[in-house]
Structures are given as C-alpha cells and as structure tokens.
Amino acid sequence: MIGEIPKDYDAKSFEREIFEFWKKEKISEKARLKGNEKFYFLDGPPYVTNPIHVGTAWNKSLKDAYIRYFRMRGYQVRDQPGFDMHGLPIEVMVEKKLGIKTKKEIEALGIENFVNACKSFALDNLKVATSQFQNLGVWMDWENPYRTLDNSYIESVWWLIKRANERGLLEKGNKIVHWCPRCETVLAGYEATDEYREIEDDSIYVKFRLEGKEKEYIVIWTTTPWTLPANVAVMVNPDFMYAKVSVGDETYIVAEDRVGAVFGNEKYEVVERIPGSKLSGLKYIPPLLEEVPKQRELYPAHFVVLSDLYVSLEEGTGCVHTAPGHGEEDHEVGEIYGLPDFCPVDERGRFTADGGKYAGKDVRESNREIIEDLKRKGLLLKMERTRHRYPHCWRCKTPLILRLATQWFIKVTEIKERMLEENEKVDWVPEWAGKARFGNWIKNAKDWVISRQRYWGVPLPIWVCNKCGRYEVIGSFSELKEKAVDKIVEIDLHRPWVDYVKIRCICGHEMERVSDVADVWMDSGSASFASLYYPSESKEWEKWWPVDMILEGHDQTRGWFYTLMVCGIIAFDSVPYRRVLMHGFTIDQDGRAMHKSLGNVVYPEEVIDKYGRDTLRWYELGCTTWEDLKFTWKSVEETSRFMGILWSTYYFASLYMSLDKFSPERYSLGNVSGWLKDEDRWILSRLECLIKNVTSSMNGLRVFEAVRELEYFMKEELSRWYIKLIRKRTWTETEDPEKIAAYATLYEVLFNYLKMVAPIVPFVSEKIYQEMFRTRPDMPISVHMLEWPSFEEKWRDVKLEEDMQVVKEIVEASYSARQSARMKTRQPLRRLRVVSKDERVISAISRLKKIVLDQANVKEVEVISPEEEEKMKEIKLVANPSVIGPIFRGKTKSVAEIIGALNGKEVLRSLRDGKTVIFEVDGEKFELKKEYVTVQESVPESYKGAGCRFGTVYIDTTKDKELISEGLMRDVIRRIQEMRKRAALKVDAYIKVWIGVPSEEIKGLIMDKIKEISAEVRAKEMYVSIGGIEKGAYKDGWQIDGEEFFIGIEEDRSQ
RNA sequence: GGGCUCGUAGCUCAGCUUGGUAUGAGCACUCGACUGAUAAUCGAGUGGUCGAGGGUUCAAAUCCCUCCGGGCCCA
C-alpha cells in the first residue's frame, strides 16, 4: 500500500534524516558494489587550502550525479575521491602561520619541522574538505581517498619519473625560468601568470653598429635594458621587408612597416629595401662591449639570426634584441644557431662578475645606468615610457626576472605528436573543449620543467654521484632500500628524510639526491595509475585502467587534463581517459569570478541552510554545464519554488492513494489498461518520451538538458494539466475503475519520474521513495539502488499527444475569452465554438471532447467553419464622413444615421452581387456607393472570442436559470470547502451545513441543487434559510456576486 | 597580443547544428481568475534595434567578416 508523505517540503529535517539512514544502512557502500561492467570515474584532486565555495559544490554535484546515474544504469563505478596535498601554496600558508617568509628562515627552522607543519596543515584541511563534500550529499569513497602525500603515491610518481628517464624523456638542462630575486626561487609558469600586473618602464631604441661600417646601425627596441649586457644576437623575420633609412649622416636598418613609427618625427629617407632573409649573418658590435668585457669571449655571437615566429610588427623595430640567457624565445632560437647561453645574473637578481661594470648591482636598478651609458656612447636612438603587463611574484609582489637556471624537465615536445593522436580518441563534451581548446594547447606544448627548489612535495627520485656526476633515477622504495649505502627500514619519503639516504654509484663513490621536489602538477598528473597504487600493486590497475570519465572546470585544460595526458603517454604511451566533461566557472551576479579578496564568495552551506541540498543541486545541475554559471539568489529562490511543486505533486498523489489504500501490486498498469482514459494514455505517452530524452541527455553528459526537460514535464504536463484533469476522479468514494486507472497511471509516472530525478536530487527522492513507494520489504533498500527506467515505446501515441496539445490550447483560449467577458471559470456556460477547418482540430475535439467540456466548464463544444463564423458575425456599416460630407452637406448627419441603421449583411451581399442599393433621405432617393461606408464586423455581445494557434475560440455568455443555479452552486460549494479547510477538518470528515441566503429567489436556486452540494461538501444535513444564521460551530459571512450569504458548518461525528 | 568561449525582455536563459514573422520561456511588474495540492495555482497585459557594424541571401538572432564587452587559458 502506498504511503503518505508529509504535507510540507521541509528539506532541513528530512535531509538530516536521510543522511542518518544512509549511514546506518551503509547505503553508499552497498551501491558501490552494485553493477557489472567497470566504470572508472577519476576525481580531479582539489587543492586543500580553502573552504569550498558554490563552484566547487557544482563540480562535485556533477560528479555525484553521474556516478549515481551510471550506477543505476548497471555499471560498477569506482568513486574514489582524491586530494592534492603538496606544493608551494601550502608552503606559503604554513610560512604565514609560522610567521616566516624566506627560504633561509625555513632552513633555520629545520626542514623537518617545516615539512611536518605542511603535512599536518594538509591533513587538517583534508578533513575539513571531506566533511564539506559529504555534507553536500556527495557519495564518494571518503574512507579511502587517494592522497598525494602518501608514500605509495610518491612511489608511483617516482616510477613515472624513472619511466620518463628510461624513455629518454627526462633531461637536465638550462631553462629560462621566472625567478623571484627577493625570494630567490624559481616560480612555476602558472604562479607567474596569475600575477601579471601593469607597470610603466622605459623602453629604448638602441643602435647596434654594423661591423666594418662607421655610421650604419641595426636598431632594436627593448623594455628591459638590463638584459643588454647579455645580448648575443639580433633576430629579424625572414618574411618581412626591411629598410635602410638614412637620417642625417647615419643609416639605420629597421622593418619597413615600422619606419614610420620609429622615425615619424624626423626627416628621413628610405635608401634601400632588403628582405629579412638577406640580413641573416650580418655582424654587429654589441653596444656594451666595453662595459662588459666578457662579451668579447662569446662565440658565435653578435650577428643577425632569423625567426619567423618571434618577430612581429606590432611594436618595436622588427629587429629583436636576443639574449638567450634571459628569454625563452631567445633561448630557443639561440639553440638553433648554437649561440652561447650568457646569463650574468645570480639568484639574487644581481649581476655576477661576468657583468663587468655592473657586477654586484641589482638588475632592474641598473636600467638607468645602462641607459646613461648608451646615451654617452651615442647608441641611444630614442627613449619612451611604456605601460606593459609584467609578471610579479605572487608572494611578495616583486617584479620577476627571466633567468637561465639548471632544471630537470620532461621533453614534452617529443611526445606532442603522440598526444595529438591520442587526443583524437577522447570523447570531449563539449566537443570544442577537446578539438579546439585542448588541441591548440597541445600544439603549443613546451618542455615541462618539473623541478622545484622547494620542500613540500614529491622529492625528485634522482641521485647524483658527487664524483663522476652520473645520475640514477629510483622507481620505488624497495629499489631505494636495495641500493642504499646504509640500511633503511621504513621512512617517510618526503624531505628531509629521503635526503639522508645515499646510494652507491658504479664508480664506487656515493650518490646524493638532488635537493629538488617535483612540480605538484606531476602529482595529480599521475593520478590515473597512482590512485590504483600502480605499479606497487597491479590488481586494481588491471581491473580499472583506463579512466572512463573525468569532469573538471575549463581552467584544467592547461592543468589536469594536460598533465594526466602527458603522464599517461610517458607511462603507457596512451591517453589515460576516455571521456572528458568540461564545466564552466561560477561567477557572481556582476559576472566576476568568486574571490575571497573580492568578498563575493558564496558558500554552499549558506544555500543549504536556506533552501536545502537538493535545491542547490537542481539549480546548479540545471545550468549549461560548460558555460559560466552566474550565481544569483533569485534563481535559487525560483528553483526552490519548483522543489515545492515537485513535493506537492507527490504529496497530492500520496494523500489520495493512501486514503484509498491503493495497491500498486493489485492494480498494476497492465491489469487496468482497459480502464485507462485518454488523459492517462496521454501522460503515459509523454512519460515514455521523457524517459527517452532524459536517458539520451544523461548518456551524452548533458545533465542540464535532463533537468530542464524534467522540470518542464513536472510543471507543465503533470502538475498543471494531468492532475487537474484527474482531480475529480480522485474524489469518488468507491473502488471506481476510473479512479483506480488514474492511480495506476500516477503511480507509473511518479515512480519512474522519481528514478530519473534520483541522481540529481538524492535526498528528496530518497525520502519520497522510503515513505511512498517502498511498499514491500523485497524492494531495494534505497532509491539509489533501483534500475534506471527503460522505455519500450509501448505507450507512445504521437497523435494523442498532438490532440491533447490542441485541446489544451483551446481551453486556455476559452479562459482568455472568459476574461474579456468578465466571466469566471466557475460559471458553467452554454457552449464553446472553435473556428477551424483543420482536420487535426476537428478530430482532437471529437476525441477529447469530455476534457474540453470539463476544463472549459461548458455544456457543448462545436467546431465551426470560417463561413459559419461569418454568419455568426454582425456586420455594421458606418458612414465615412470625409466622403459623404462634401456630397450631402447639410443632410450628412441624417445620411449617417440612416446608413448606420441599414442591415449590413444584406447591403454587403447586394454590393458584392453588383446590385444597386438605394436609400432614402427626406424622401429623396440615393444610390449607396461602397466608398460611403466602412465595414465593422463584430460578434454578438453574448459571444466573446480569443485567438489561439488552432483558431478563434468563442464562448456563449448567455445564462439561463439552470446555468445561474449551477454557478451559484459552485460558489456556495467553494465557500464551504474553504471553511472546511479553515476549520482544519480532515478531507474525509462529514459535516452539517446551515446556509443563510439573501432572497427567496436565491433560496429556490440553491434548493434545486441541494443534493449535489451536500455530496460535494460531504454534508449529511443541510438547511437553507433567508437572512442570518445562528447554527454551526464555524460561521462566516460571504459575498457572492455582491450579495450577502451566511454559512455555518460543524463536523458530524454520527456514524 | 594569441587561443577557446559567452553576449537574445529589467533579471536568468532557450532558440543558432539544418536561415523562413521571436505566438520565445521563467522570474519581476500590472490586471484578472481559481481554490478537497493552498504562504500553492491559472490566465492576460506591459516589456526586444537578438552586443555594434558590414557582407551573403527573396529572407539572417541563426551563415561569413570586422569591431566592442565579459570569462578561462596562454604570452
């Protein structure tokens, strides 16, 4: 038997109850074991520093919804969560906590103490994050997350690095890196790009004298004068045209297109045009040769090199100062030409002894001096102030410098082609995320610097011999144990403990670990196998790998999507995931990203507190996944109203079904199919269509489509139409087949609907399942253990759906017509006329006539043709004064009156037939000409019309005694029902009623209907009198059509 | 500066693949109705140069180009 759910949607209390139920019955553990075919969902590990906001909640809710969905589809889903627990951001947090700022202070404190502090910080935050995620109702394996700080995880990363080395992809080399001179550390690219700021700098045009020429120069432009001591070449674009420009007695080479910009204010002459390619090899004298003696030793250097990639015409001179020690592009071109990597700058951002005159000076502070020197030597062509974006240290806000440093890196450029090939196999949702965005990113992939001169991270498993310089990569703890000089038992693989381990080199000397740790992105990039404990165990890996689905925000294109791919290719020469769903960002109502510093962050707890978890989920999951979600409280409010409708719909059904002790086993849909009415078949047809569409949306990872479709169905089709249609059937007292059929239909629709919303709103669906649908102990213990509904097209009836649409719109048009007639729906009317010749309309109305009569509250409905409509219309002729005025002059007024009184229809017909129409004014006869009149068509006063897609709908508003009495009856019934409700009587309670009416006539009208009224309001006795009344426990006065009525009721307990 | 993406009613967004009058949806506002789901519900009205400009076409919100503004990523 169907159970009754509580009347009010009280998310707060039942969500807590459901949490307890899940916990007590270990539902999520049970669901985890369900299913056959493997489905490896891999959670992108969040970084554990801040409390989560609604954006993170969106991410996890999406994951949770798909995990639940694929389980209902019969998959065994691996749902292990992950946490990213290493890295500089945590170090910075801990530094702040400890009140220290520099590496020196960390070393003074002791690496051991510092690392321990980082570890406990990360573990504390993991706990906070876990409970926040659990609190959202996200079902993941919270007891067994993968954590990047675990020894086993570190081992997996070690194995990967070893693998890279074996494949020849690991290399130690000089790389241009972003360097903070104040913190004396390399910064990862992403740490730099997050802190680009606008600053103003001097930009200078510098003359490089050509070798062997006195007054001929090639001109470069730079905003970083301090890199000029490291100049080794000038880059030009082979595809550009260059010009020799003569100004005074000197000649300059610049790109032709830049001549105007450089020399615009001077008198100049272009004396020669030279293609860029012809400039190749042209030798020049470096401008600071005297100041930086080291320059003389550089070889090969100081000539023109070519690059079609890095020389543009946007700014400068088209000739680019090249310092391979201070620029990535410079370095790259330098390698092609075998140019020396000259970098006379130390870790503190000061010139080294190689910097000659500038040795010991801070580079940025040397700008001025260098400019002065150039000016003195006559090599400064001109100088401007330029605003440009420049990277800053995100910790101390110092402008960064680019500098050459020895780093370990992965030669990603060598596996780029493989990545592009493998990317073709991935199913990206949306498609452009992979084809366009990710594809472009891979094409521009650069070698990946994986070493960091820091403390809290996976230590690079590279040991270097302090004698012969040979290095070795260790792939596991057991390998390390084997090769260790001193016996080790169990150690934490973090710094500094791992630093103490020395291994023996084949040359006989000791090898020490390089002091670097790995870039954190390598941690998360290893997740596809590290989360499976591979390679120290291979059972899990064999079962689950590769990943069936990942799902993250669009910032992860350069992040996790990418590093997972790189690591997968290194490890297995294969992309590690099959499907990627990319989602947008959550932004505030002004379109700005949510940032703590902006104070615009919304936390999921705030939403949950006010509206509950399901409301938050329905809202977020209903937003287009890959677009940005503009979070507004108003939309949450709206969503919460929908949750109310959903709840009320189930409440309504559960109330009547349980009252009538409806048994879905006894009256299955199959058993009652012969009793089904048109509206039942219609909603069942709609349901099948819904199941089909929702299934396809979910399979395509478009949950937002599913949400929208489900919402539309619930509001427009189920709640506002079907339930309205069957309401009367649910009021009958007996075991009426019509009522049973409605219940069986409702049961089918609501139960299947419940299964479909379960992945999206897991709490309310569980609550309803437990209290309403789980009628037998052999039914699955949780809604989340049910199978996803299937669709067989058994009930699909497209014609019926079309017919219903026609009828629905016609009924709505009738309401519209009533409104213009000021005729309430409660008042029954004689007839409804629909003007149409459309076969669809005729057949729809004939099939669904009962629904039209019932919903439009009319006695008859007929479809009439447009010709019949014409007949129905009255035609009025109105004189056209501007025409008749000049003709009839003084008689105009009488003529107008006479024309107005003519029978319009007849006159028009005569005119159409070419007959002459004569009218008489003051005994004089005139012929009526067409232009004398304007034709006004109107329907009789008693008819009111309204248009809809399927034709005009007219209602006949004339009322006879019977209609008036019926209308009055409905009014009286409504008032009594209202009073029953105010008196909080049960819906099935019996009452006694006293009615005081204003007149004898009205008393008569009511007496005619007393039987019907009594039946509808469940009155055992009813008394009607004129005037006020004294009887009844509940009494009230009412106005009906402007007249005073008095009604008293009281419960009748006699039985 | 480059790549991707978004821009439609006061607000949040459908529609764009495949060109055909935006009867666009919900919310908000105004008016009205309904009432055995009831702090619910229904109907009607007001409200758009579909970011701007150009092109293709008989016809453009939709296809093409340029520009402007937001977001993410990169430099």
For A12, phi then psi, to 5°, come to -55, -50
Nearest residue: Cα versus C1' of B13: A623
- In the prediction, which pLDDT does A939 show? 66
Rounded-to-integer distance, Cα A238 and Cα A254, Å:
13
- In the prediction, which pLDDT does A463 show? 96
Q: Quote ipTM for the complex.
A: 0.89
- In the prediction, which pLDDT does A769 show? 95
CA A41, A47, A50, A56 torsion-angle sign: negative
CB atoms within 10 A of CB A996: 22
- In the prediction, which pLDDT does A937 show? 65
- In the prediction, which pLDDT does A1 show? 77
Q: Model confidence at A192, in pLDDT bands (50, 70, 90)? A: low
- In the prediction, which pLDDT does A897 show? 73
Buried b / exposed e over A1021-1050, threshold 16 CB at 10 Å, is ebebeeeebeebeebbebebeeeebbbbbb
Rounded-to-integer distance, Cα A66 and Cα A61, Å:
9
**Residue A102 C-alpha from the chain's centroid:** 40
CB atoms within 10 A of CB A382: 14
| Contact (Cβ atoms closer than 8 angstroms) between residue A227 and residue A323 | yes
- In the prediction, which pLDDT does A680 show? 92
Q: How far is the CA of A719 from the C1' of B37 (A)?
A: 9
pLDDT digit string, tens, across residues A135-164: 999 999 999 999 999 999 999 999 999 999
Q: Which of A466, A502, A497 is nearest to A486 (CA)?
A: A502
> Does pLDDT of A1045 surpass 70?
yes
Q: Model confidence at A99, in pLDDT bands (50, 70, 90)? A: very high
Higher pLDDT, A920 or A432: A432
Nucleotide nearest to A593 (CA to C1'): B71
> Does pLDDT of A987 surpass 80?
no
Residue A873 is given by DSSP the state S
- In the prediction, which pLDDT does A885 show? 74
What residues have CB less than 8 Å from A463, skipping those under 6 apart? Answer: A471, A472, A473, A474, A502, A503, A511, A512, A513, A514
- In the prediction, which pLDDT does A445 show? 85
Q: Which of A546, A584, A501 is nearest to A158 (CA)?
A: A501
Nucleotide nearest to A626 (CA to C1'): B5
- Backbone dihedral region of A212: left (phi > 0), alpha (psi from -120 to 50 degrees) or beta? left
Q: Is the peptide bond before A546 cis (omega within 30 degrees of 0)?
A: yes
Rounded-to-integer distance, Cα A394 and Cα A196, Å:
9
CA distances from A856 to A255, A343, A563, A731, A956 (A): 81, 88, 64, 20, 12
Buried b / exposed e over A170-187, threshold 16 CB at 10 Å, is beeeebbbbbbbbbebbb
> Does pLDDT of A201 surpass 90?
no
Nucleotide nearest to A553 (CA to C1'): B72
> Does pLDDT of A437 surpass 70?
yes
pLDDT digit string, tens, across residues A267-285: 899 999 999 999 999 999 9
Rounded-to-integer distance, Cα A159 and Cα A831, Å:
83
Tally: H helices and E strands in chain A: 38, 41
**A649 Cβ within 7 A of any nucleic strand B atom:** yes
Nearest residue: Cα versus C1' of B72: A555
- In the prediction, which pLDDT does A947 show? 66
Rounded-to-integer distance, Cα A61 and Cα A67, Å:
10
Rounded-to-integer distance, Cα A100 and Cα A995, Å:
85
CA A846, A850, A851, A854 torsion-angle sign: positive
Q: How far is the CA of A430 from the C1' of B17 (A)?
A: 13
Mean pLDDT, rounded, for A98-112? 90
Mean pLDDT, rounded, for A386-412? 82
- In the prediction, which pLDDT does A411 show? 92
Nucleotide nearest to A196 (CA to C1'): B75
pLDDT digit string, tens, across residues A823-832: 778 888 888 8
pLDDT digit string, tens, across residues A596-648: 777 778 889 988 988 899 999 999 998 888 888 888 888 888 888 889 889 98
Mean pLDDT, rounded, for A527-552? 94
Mean pLDDT, rounded, for A325-342? 89
**Residue A478 C-alpha from the chain's centroid:** 45
Considering only residues 730-749 of chain A, list those whose CB is below 7 Å from strand B: 731
Decide: helix, strand or coil at residue A602: coil
CB atoms within 10 A of CB A657: 25
> Does pLDDT of A49 surpass 90?
no
What residues have CB less than 8 Å from A716, skipping those under 6 apart? Answer: none
Give percent of chain A with pLDDT exceeding 70: 97
Rounded-to-integer distance, Cα A542 and Cα A590, Å:
48
Q: How far is the CA of A663 from the C1' of B57 (A)?
A: 63
Q: Model confidence at A93, in pLDDT bands (50, 70, 90)? A: confident
Q: How far is the CA of A613 from the C1' of B16 (A)?
A: 34
| Contact (Cβ atoms closer than 8 angstroms) between residue A555 and residue A507 | no
Rounded-to-integer distance, Cα A669 and Cα A673, Å:
6
Three-state DSSP string of A827-864: CCEEEEEEECCCHHHHHHHHHCHHHHHHHHCEEEEEEE
> Does pLDDT of A717 surpass 90?
no
What residues have CB less than 8 Å from A939, skipping those under 6 apart? Answer: A872, A873, A874, A945, A954
Helix residue ranges, H only, A110-258: 111-135, 151-166, 189-193
> Does pLDDT of A83 surpass 90?
yes
**A277 Cβ within 7 A of any nucleic strand B atom:** no
Considering only residues 584-613 of chain A, list those whose CB is below 7 Å from strand B: 584-585, 587, 589, 591-593
Considering only residues 976-1015 of chain A, list those whose CB is below 7 Å from strand B: 977-978, 981, 987-988
**A811 Cβ within 7 A of any nucleic strand B atom:** no
Q: Model confidence at A510, in pLDDT bands (50, 70, 90)? A: very high
- In the prediction, which pLDDT does A708 show? 87
Q: How far is the CA of A988 from the C1' of B9 (A)?
A: 47
> Does pLDDT of A115 surpass 90?
yes
Nucleotide nearest to A644 (CA to C1'): B40
